[in-house]
Amino acid sequence: MEKPFLTMNASRPIHPIQRALLLSLTAASALALSACGSMVDSRTTSADAATRETRLARSFNPDALVRQSPPAAQAPDRALTRQDPASGLRVDINTPMPAANRQDSATVTEAMDAIGAPTDPLRPDAMLNLSDATATQDLWSRIRKGYALPELQSELIAEHERWYASRPDYVQRMTGRGSRYLFHVVEEINRRNMPTELALLPFIESAFNPQAMSSARASGMWQFMPATGKDFELKQNLFRDDRRDVLASTRAALDYLQRLNRMFGDWHLALAAYNWGEGNVQKAIARNQRQGMPTDYLSLNMPPETRNYVPKLHAVRNIVMQPERFGLSLPPVENHPYFVSVPIQRDMDLALAARLAGLPQEEFKALNPSQNKPVILAAGTPQLLLPYDNASLFVQNLGKHKGALASWTAWQVPATMRPSDAAKRVGMSEAGLRELNHIPPKMLVKAGSTLLVPRPEHREQDVSEALADNATMALAPDVPPLRRVSFKAGKRDAVASIAKRYRVSVQQVAQWNRTSASATFGKGQSVVVYVPAGNAVAAAPNSTRSGAQIQRTDLAAARGKAAVLASRRGELRVASAAPAPHATSATRGSGNAKLRAAPARNARIRVASAH
């Protein structure tokens, strides 16, 4: 089978103004170099090579961008190509790999010609002109011009301003990290006509860290709780968590903020509800209305975190407006996309994708933080985000790559088993399987769970969409089967004494009998404990003299050999805690002892409260 080859074709010709500018720039550069006698001089300085104009002229050949489409007979079949709706880039997975004897220069030229102009994922229909003079403007200025939140008179704002001003290193890290994503957030906010202060909200939520996770399990740079993320169609499964996805979480957060603003008619209350929950804000408003009090943000009784939430945003707003006033400086952020989207068609190792794109894995994960595993599943991941230059390099290197793209795949466990047994089945060590799939010690992997395992060399099929979107892993404690022991308490029986007798914790006995840990049992009161199936059961000291009746599941009964033990003033009853379908009961002898068949030997009695 031919290895897949990813190509990305330009869908629009270059704008005439851009063509003219680039041609003029190229001609001017050539004349200047010729006049200096250095047209063929290889000693061009790295500083000159790094200038934006020279890089653009070298990366974008106007003739290549306006080149006519190939004749219909040579054009690839449209049905074999797909254009990603978020990026506008066209992918053809059926294009064969270049021949072994094809020159590298020809391969590189073909890949570069096929890339075309980069596209902003948030505006796929708009032509992106990197030579536009506005692209070099400061994005911070654009944010300032869009400020629209009403003023807030609170002493807490000055308090947070002082906090940020005393931590310039933190501000630099936070704003530097946010520079990757800020343009796309601002673009989406402008498209929706929302206040641009909202683009600063991830500074408050997560310091613009898309992999942030709170103690309450809120995740991503917009800090979505699991349930709220599901409400806004953010997928959360074994392989990906879209709460961390840059584009998906931004879309969901702005959808949520717009809904809250329509609900409350006030941006400050909408922000409070984003932090605290709309139900809590509605209750606080209703409480103030009953008491005849104002219902604005500052008048509501809110927890400290929510009370500081909006003032903190206003503090960041003021710092961005006048950083010099607070002795701070903001890193320059240009007014153009940091990344473009590249659709993928085959499963691919994350490490390989980062290497093909020429990016360190940390940088690659910063742009694609939703991935939970070391393999990217094409069925569940429509696109990768890459800086434009690295997207071009990714296409070139992928065209020249030989060998497997993915070394991992998904495997559904056919039956409940220990990790050691699962590891033997897939040909890896138990330690490796546990580490890769985050399986704690003393746990069983339940049937139907999905594990990440090595991909066999002969396997050509990628993970299906159904499995990629719905994979789960369920675990169960790996403990011996438990049996239920029921008896009637004697005179001085208490929770503590029974726990000591059966070598279990006081809390367990209290839980099993729905009482407190310090409780005592009345004489004749029914008591329940659970013990491992193979352990001998100690009878209550006073049970035979008080006529107590003991019920238990015996290991011998599991083999069909039940024993009936009678005392002078009582009887022993052997019973299954979970009788098998074929269980029978019979009356035997004059002692009126009752015998019931127990479950098969390998039957497991599951008692959730026993662990």
Cα–Cα separations (whole angstroms), residue 566 to 66, 230, 572? 99, 59, 6
205 catalytic? Reply is yes
Contact yes or no for 335/138 (Cβ under 8 A): yes
Nearest to 412 by CA among 430, 442, 376, 437: 437
Contact yes or no for 531/565 (Cβ under 8 A): no
Contacts for 421-430 with beta carbons within 8 Å, 24 or more apart? 422/451, 426/451, 426/453, 426/454, 427/454, 428/453, 428/454
Q: Which tokens sit at 437?
A: 């799939």
Catalytic residue from among 110, 155, 205, 278: 205
| Side-chain half-sphere exposure of 369, counting CA atoms within 13 A | 23
Residue 194, Cα to own-chain centre: how many angstroms? 27
Cα–Cα separations (whole angstroms), residue 148 to 25, 143, 154? 40, 10, 18
- What span, in angstroms and rounded, lies between the C-alpha atoms of 232 and 249? 9
- What span, in angstroms and rounded, lies between the C-alpha atoms of 26 and 377? 42
Q: How many helices (H) and strands (E) does the chain have?
A: 24, 17
- What span, in angstroms and rounded, lies between the C-alpha atoms of 483 and 530? 6
* Residues across the chain: 611
Residue 560, by phi and psi: left (phi above 0), alpha (psi -120 to 50) or beta?
Answer: left
Report, as residue numbers or ranges, the catalytic residues.
205
